[in-house]
Chain A
Amino acid sequence: MWVDWVGHASFLSRTQELEARPDDTMAIVFIGPAMRDLVAGSHQIEAHGASVRELMSDIGRRYPELRDRLCAGDQFRPGLTVAVDNVIFATRVAMYQDVRPDSEVHFLAAIPGG
C-alpha cells in the first residue's frame, strides 16, 4: 500500500504499513511546487524501491503524470537530476543510485559549471 506522507487519507498507519511490508523500502520523495498538483497537493510522498530507478517505477505506477513530468523513457528529462540523502547526483547516473528505506529524495535542476 502506498500512501501520501502528508495529509491524505490512508487506512493504514505508517507503522502498520511498514509491518505489512517488512521487506519493502519506502523512501520519502519531496515534491516541488510545480508538481504538487500531480500528487493531490502533497509536499512529499513515499515510494518503494532499492534504487532511484525502482522508485521511479513505483511512482510511475501510482502517479504516471508525475513520472512523465520527470522522465523520458528510462532517463530523467534534460536539465533534471536527483539528490538522495542530500547528495546531488549527475543526471546520467541518477537512476542507478541506491535508495535506503529511510532515504530522502529530491528532484532538482541539474547544475552546470564553467
Chain B
Amino acid sequence: MTQTADRPASVTPATSPTRVIDSNGGANRIISTGEYRVVGTRPVRHDGVDKVTGRAVYGGDTRLAGLLYGKVLRSPHAHARIKRIDVSKARALDGVHAVVTHEDLPKAEDREVHMGEGEGNLKHMSDNILASDTVLYKGHAVAAVAAANVHIAEVACKLIEVEYEVLPAVTDLRAAMKDGAPLVHPGTTTVSLGKDTGKVSNITKHFRMQQGDPDAAFAKADAIVEREYVTATVHQGYIEPTNATAMWNRDGLITVWTSTQGAFNARDSTAMILGVPVSRVRCVPQEIGGGFGGKINVYLEPVAAILSRESGRPVKVIMSRAEVFQATGPGPASWTKVKFGATKDGKLVAASAEIAMESGAYPGSDTGAAAACIFAAYNLEDMRVDGYDVLTNMPKTAPYRAPGAPQAAFAAEQAIDELAHKLGIDVVEFRLKNASHEGTLQVGGPRFKRVGAIEVLEQTKATAHWNSPLGTPRPGHKRGRGLAIGFWFNIGLESSVSISVNANGAVTLIEGSTDIGGSRASISMQAAEILGIRVEDVRPNVVDTDSIGYTGVTGGSRTTFATGIAAIEAAKSVITQMKARAAKVWGVPADDVTYDQNGTFSCSTDAGKHISFQDLAAKLDATGGPVTGVGNVNPQGAGGAFATNLVDVEVDPETGKVDIIRYTAVQDAGKAIHPSYVEGQIQGACVQGIGWALHEEYWMNEKGEMANTSLLDYRLPTTYDVPMIETVIVEVPNPGHPFGVRGVGEVPIVPPQAAIANAIHDALGVRMTSLPMKPSVILHALGTI
C-alpha cells in the first residue's frame, strides 16, 4: 500500500507561485499553484484517433465466431407474483439455442457481499438479474433467450408464457413511506437507529448523524429558514446502451466482454451470481460510451453467461433504450426537509435535515452520502441529519455521479440562499463568512483536512461573470442570477499499473482502469513526468482481469488519483532499475547514479558520465534483460472537492420556459493533470445538471409504468439548451497525492440544480422546491396554473 503525503523530490513543480492561465479565448481559466514538465499540459489523448475515426471497439461491437444474440423477457407489471413460467414453445422455435430463467442460476445466499465501491446483498443481486418468485418493477427480467439473431430471440420471448398474480405497487417515494402503502417486500421492517422496530414498512433504515446540540443552537438564531424539497428519479443518460457478451467454455472458464466502469467488479459480481470462483471468470472491458455510475452494477453479464453455458456458443445481449431506462439503476428520487439558523450578523449557528431517498426494488440508497454532504460547505458545530432508505416498485437505484449530493445541495443551497436574502447579506459573502476550511467539523464526525471551499468562492467572486450586469431580457421575459456550492468526498481504492521499457526508450503502460473521460492520458502523463520522457512515448493499454492486478472501478472520481499513484510507483520502480543498469554500464555503485526530469542518468562521482533514458533503454538486453516496474496501491488520501456554479437564466413567465444564458463553473481540482479533460468533466457534469434541473424525470403512470422510455420523451439537454460553460479550475493541492490531485468527475454535478433554482428565484421571486423545474412547475409556482 502506498500513501504518499510528502511530495517526492522528483515531482517538485518547476514553479510554485499561483499563476493564472487562460485558454479558449479566456473562457476557461486555471488558477495554478504548481507547474510541471508534462503534468498540467494538454497533449492529444492516446485513444483520440480511434475514438474519432470509429475504430474504438465498444461493447456492442464485440464479434465472435458462432455468436448468438440474446434478448430478455421483462415484467409488464410493477409488482406481481410469478405463478408459472412455460418456456417450451420458445425452446421449440427454430433458431432458438437456449432459454433460461432464474432456475438456471444457483440459489443465492441471503448475505452481504463486497461490490465495487460498496456492498450488496447476493440474493437481491441474483433476483435482480432474473426474478425468482416476484417481479418488483416494470421491466424486471424474468427469462432470456439466445437465438441465431435478435429477431428470432424477440419472437421467442413472446412465446414464453408467464402467469402473474398482479400485486399493488407503489412507485412514489413519499407514498411508499406512508403507513398502509403497498409493501415492496412484505416482511421488511424498519431498522431505526440500529434497532429493528418490528414495524412492517417500506422504510428499511433510519439513521442519524449529529454533532453538538442543534436544538439548543437554533434558539440562538436571529433568522431561520426551513423548507421541504423533492427531486424526481433520473437516469445517468449514458448514450451507449448496457451490453454484455459471454462465452462459457466447456472447460468451465467464462469470458465476459462488456462495457463497464470496472472489469474486476464485473468479474467478481458475475462470479458471485453464477456461484463460481473468480479465477474462472475473465472480464475483458470494452470501450465505454458513458457510465456516470450506471455501469458499475452488472445486469446482463450473468444472463449472457448462462445462455452461453446452455447453448455452447458465445452470446451477446444489448439493451434497448427502453430497457436501459426500465431495467438498469437510475439515480434516486428524494425528499428533503432542511433548516438553517443564523445570527443577524450572518453567522450560521445550527442546521438540521431529514433526507429520504428511494432505493427502488431492493434496499440501499444514496441517503448516507447525501447526509454526509448536505452541510459540508459550512462551518458548523451544531447540526443533525436524519436519513431514510425507502423501497419502491422502481428499478434498484444505482450511483449517479456524486450519489445523493446533488439532491442534498438542491435543498441546502436554496435554503442558504433564502437565509442570506432574509438577513440582507450578499449570497457570496454569506457563504464565504461560513465556508468550510481545514479543521471544519463534518456532520459524520471527522474534521476536514485541506479543502478549497473558500478558494472556489473567492474565485467565483472574482469572475467576470459575477462582476457583469445581467443584461436586458427579451420583452416579457425576466432574468436572474443564481449561485450554489457543492461538495463531494472522492475515494481511493485499489489500482495496479505496470510499465515496461522498450528498446527505443518508449514505454508500455498496462492499467486496469477503464477509460471514461481521458484517464489513459492523465495516467500516462503522471508516468511520463516521473520517467522524464514525453507523454507521446507512453503507450497506455487498458487490459482484462487476467492481465493486471486488481483495480477498482472507474468511479468515485478515483482514477486519476489512485491509478495515477500506481503509475507513479511503477515509474519510480522503472527509474530505480534503470539506475542499476546505468551503474552496470559505468561500473559504479547504483547509489552513484542520479536521474533528472529531463531524462538523463548521470554519475555523481564522474561528471563526464551521462546517458539518456532512450540510450540506456537500448542497452537493457545487454545489461540484464527487460525492465518492468509495477505499482500496486490502495491509497486513502483522496481529497474532497468543492465546486460552485454561477448561472444566469432568462424565464418566460407566460410559458414557464427557462433559458440558460450564461454559466460559469468554478472547481477545486487539486492539480489538473490534463486541464482539457478536467474542463470536459466540469462541462459535461454541468450539462447533466441542467437536464436534471429543467427537464429530466421518470414519468410514472398509475400502473407503475415509466411512460417516457425513449430519448424523445425523456428530455436530455441538447446543444440548444446549453450555453458555453466557462470553467475556472482552482488548484488547492491535495496533500494525499504527489501532484496534489483531487477527484474531478463528480463534484461538478452537485451545484447546478440549486444554482439554477436560485437563478429562477432571482428572476421570478418564487422558490422552486421540486425537480425538474419544467414549464408546468414554473407556472404552478407563479400561480398561473
Interface residues of A (CB under 8 A from B): 30, 32-35, 69, 72, 77-79, 83, 86-93, 97, 104, 106-114
Contact = CB atoms under 8 A, between A and B. Distances in A.
B208 A114 contact: no
Contacts of A35: 194
Contacts of A109: 207, 368-369, 371-372, 444
Interface stretch (B52-60, B489-497, B536-544): B489-497
B327 to A, nearest CB: 18
16 contacts: A86-B446, A86-B447, A87-B449, A90-B491, A90-B492, A97-B636, A104-B446, A109-B369, A112-B369, A113-B399, A113-B489, A113-B556, A113-B557, A113-B558, A114-B294, A114-B403
A89 B114 CA distance: 15
Nearest to A35: B194
B708 interface: no
B557 A69 contact: no
A92 B112 CA distance: 13
A86 B446 CA distance: 5
A106 B446 contact: yes
A18 to B, nearest CB: 24
A96 to B, nearest CB: 9
B207 A90 contact: no
B243 to A, nearest CB: 19
Tell me which of A32, A77, A90, A107 has the highest count of chain B C-beta atoms within 10 A of its own C-beta.
A90
Nearest to B736: A87
A111 B491 CA distance: 8
Interface in B373-424: 399-403
Interface string B730-773: 00000000000000001000000000000000000000000000
Contacts of A83: 444-446
B637 A112 contact: no
A114 B401 contact: yes
A88 B368 CA distance: 14
B396 to A, nearest CB: 13
Contact of B372 (A77, A90, A91, A108): A108
Contacts of A106: 444-446
Counting from the closest, the 5 A-B pairs by CB-CB distance are A114-B293, A113-B556, A109-B368, A78-B119, A106-B445
Contacts of A78: 112, 114, 118-120
B172 interface: no
Nearest to B118: A112
Interface residues of B, number: 50
Contacts of B612: none
B563 to A, nearest CB: 14
A11 B445 CA distance: 29
Contact of A114 (B368, B399, B446): B399
B265 interface: no
B577 interface: no
B623 to A, nearest CB: 38
A92 B399 CA distance: 19
Nearest to A65: B194
B697 to A, nearest CB: 19
Interface in B617-672: 634, 636-637
Interface in B478-534: 489-493
Nearest to B439: A86
A96 B557 CA distance: 24
Contacts of A72: 112
Given A78-B119, A111-B372, A86 B449 contact: yes
A111 B493 CA distance: 12
A112 B333 CA distance: 17
Interface in B112-145: 112, 114, 117-120
A114 B114 contact: no
Interface string B418-462: 000000000000000000000000001111110000000000000
Tell me which of A30, A107, A109 has the highest count of chain B C-beta atoms within 10 A of its own C-beta.
A109
B691 to A, nearest CB: 15
A79 B368 contact: yes
Given A79-B368, A111-B556, A113-B558, A92 B445 contact: no
B340 interface: no
Contact of B117 (A97, A104, A108, A112): A112
B193 interface: yes
Contact of A110 (B194, B208, B368, B557): B368
A95 B555 CA distance: 23
Contact of B445 (A108, A111, A114): A108
A108 B217 CA distance: 24
Contact of B493 (A30, A34, A90, A108): A90
Nearest to A113: B556
Given A86-B446, A108-B444, A113 B634 contact: no
B119 A34 contact: no
A92 B746 contact: no
Contacts of A87: 446, 449, 636-637
Contact of B366 (A89, A108, A112): A112
B236 A111 contact: no
B257 interface: no
B763 to A, nearest CB: 31
Tell me which of B117, B553, B555 has the highest count of chain A C-beta atoms within 10 A of its own C-beta.
B117
A102 to B, nearest CB: 14
Given A114-B401, A114-B402, A93 B634 contact: yes
Nearest to A86: B446
B292 interface: yes
Contacts of B296: 114
Contact of A79 (B118, B402, B492, B634): B118
A112 B555 CA distance: 9
B769 to A, nearest CB: 25
Contact of B194 (A34, A93, A108, A112): A34
B209 interface: yes
B210 interface: yes
B354 to A, nearest CB: 14
Contacts of A113: 117, 293, 399, 402-403, 489-491, 553, 555-558, 746
Contacts of A114: 236, 291-294, 296, 399-403, 555-556, 746
B332 to A, nearest CB: 12
Contacts of B112: 72, 77-78
Nearest to B638: A88
A6 B555 CA distance: 40
A79 B118 CA distance: 6
